[in-house]
Structure 1
Amino acid sequence: MIWHLIAAIFAGLGAAGLGQLLRLASGKRLPRWLVPVCAGLGMLGYQIHTEYRWFDHKRAQLPETAQVVQVEYDAMFWRPWTYLFPMATAFSVVDAQSLVAQEGDEGRRVEFLLYRFEKQVQDRVSHQAWLMNCATRETLPLEGESRRPRVEAMRRLSEQAPLYRAICHDDQAAP
C-alpha cells in the first residue's frame, strides 16, 4: 500500500511538471493554477488506473489451474465514473487441483474449494468448501473440519452457470 502512495505522489509530480512545461512553453500566459490542477489530475488518473487494473492484476497472479467463475462489478457514489464503467470489486475462483470427485448411486459428486477475492483497503481472500452433485446441479457448503453439509443452504445451478461448467461440464467430457 505504501508503494501505491509513493507512485501516486510521483504521478502527481510528473503531471505537475508537464503543467509547468506547458506554462513555460506558452510564455507564462497560462494561469499558475494549472500546475496544481495537473498534479491532482495525475494522482487521480493513477488511482483510477490502479483500481480498474486490480482484477486483471489478481487474475494474472493465479495459477493456470484456477478458473474465474464469477466477477462482481459495482458502482460507488464517491467514484462517479464507476456509474458509466462499473469496477470489478470481487471475484470467485475454483482451482482444478482442489477438485475431489466421487462416483455414487446419485451420480458424480465433486467436492471443491471456492475462493473469493474482495477488493478492499487490504485485499481480502476467503475460501469455502462446497459439494456439487453434477447430475442434479445442486451445490451446498460444507462446514468445519468434518465437512458437514449445510443442507438448508443448498441451491440449484443452471446448466449455463460458470461454476457448474467449471466443476462438472469439463469433468464429464473426460473419459
Structure 2
Amino acid sequence: MIWHLIAAVFAGLGAAGIGLLLRTLSGKRLPRWIIPALAGLGMLGYQIQTEYSWYEHKRSLLPDSARVVQVEQDAMFWRPWTYLFPMTTGFSVVDTQSMSVQEQEGERRVEFLLYRFEKQVQDRVSHQAWLMNCATRETLPLEGEAREPRLDEMRRLGEQAPLYRALCEESD
C-alpha cells in the first residue's frame, strides 16, 4: 500500500510538472491554479487506473488451471464514475487441478475449493471446500477438517451457471 501512495505522489508531481510547463509555454497566461489542479487530476487518474486494473492484475497472477466462475461489479456514491463504468470489487475462482471427482451410485460428485477474492483496503482472499453433484446440479459447503456437509446451505445451480459448467461440463 505504501508503494501505491508513493506512485500517486509521483503521478501528481508529473502532472504538476506538465502544468508548470504549459504555464511557462503560454507566457504565464494560464492561471497559477492550473499546476495544483493538474497535480490533483494526476493523482486521481492514477488511483482510478489502479482500481480498474485490479481484477486483470489479480487474474494474471492465477495459475492456468484456475477458472473464474463469478465476477462482482459495484457502483459507489463516493466514486461517481462507477455508475457509468462499474468497478470489479470481487470474484470467485475454482482451481481445476485441486478438485477430486468421484462416481457414486451412477452420479458424478466433484469436491473442490472455491476461492473468493475481494478488493478492499487490503485485498482479502478466502476459500471454502464445496461438494457438487453434477447429476442434480446441487452444491453444498463442506466444513472443518472432516469436511462435514452443511445440508442447510444446499443450493441448486442452473444449467448455464459458470460454476456448474466449469466443474461438470468441461471435465467430462
TM-score, normalised to structure 1, is 0.97
Task: Report the counterpart of residue 116 of structure 2 in structure 1.
Answer: 116
**Quick one: distance in 2 between partners of 1:46 and 1:149?**
45
**Quick one: distance in 2 between partners of 1:145 and 1:52?**
37
**Quick one: distance in 1 between partners of 2:122 and 2:103?**
41
**Quick one: distance in 2 between partners of 1:37 and 1:157?**
51
Deviation for aligned residue 1:125: 0.2
Identity in percent? 77
Q: Establish whether residue 95 from structure 1 lines up as the match of residue 95 from structure 2.
A: yes
**Quick one: distance in 1 between partners of 2:141 and 2:13?**
50
1:36-81 CA distances to partner (integer Å, 9 max, x unpaired)? 0000000000000000000000000000000100000000111000
Matched AA of 2:139: T
How many residue pairs match? The answer is 172
Deviation for aligned residue 1:141: 0.3
Q: CA RMSD in A?
A: 0.5
Deviation for aligned residue 1:106: 4.8
**Quick one: distance in 2 between partners of 1:118 and 1:112?**
20
Matched AA of 1:159: E
Task: Report the counterpart of residue 67 of structure 1 in structure 2.
Answer: 67
**Quick one: distance in 1 between partners of 2:155 and 2:106?**
17
* Structure 1 gap segments, 5+ residues each: none
**Quick one: distance in 1 between partners of 2:104 and 2:64?**
29
Task: Report the counterpart of residue 147 of structure 2 in structure 1.
Answer: 147
TM-score, normalised to structure 2, is 0.99
Moved more, 100-109 or 42-51: 100-109
Deviation for aligned residue 1:171: 1.6
* Structure 2 gap segments, 5+ residues each: none
**Quick one: distance in 2 between partners of 1:32 and 1:54?**
35
Matched AA of 1:149: P
Task: Report the counterpart of residue 171 of structure 1 in structure 2.
Answer: 171
Task: Report the counterpart of residue 125 of structure 1 in structure 2.
Answer: 125
**Quick one: distance in 2 between partners of 1:171 and 1:91?**
22
Q: Secondary structure at the match of 1:93?
A: strand
**Quick one: distance in 1 between partners of 2:153 and 2:101?**
21
Task: Report the counterpart of residue 107 of structure 1 in structure 2.
Answer: 107
Task: Report the counterpart of residue 157 of structure 2 in structure 1.
Answer: 157
Q: Establish whether residue 81 from structure 1 lines up as the match of residue 49 from structure 2.
A: no
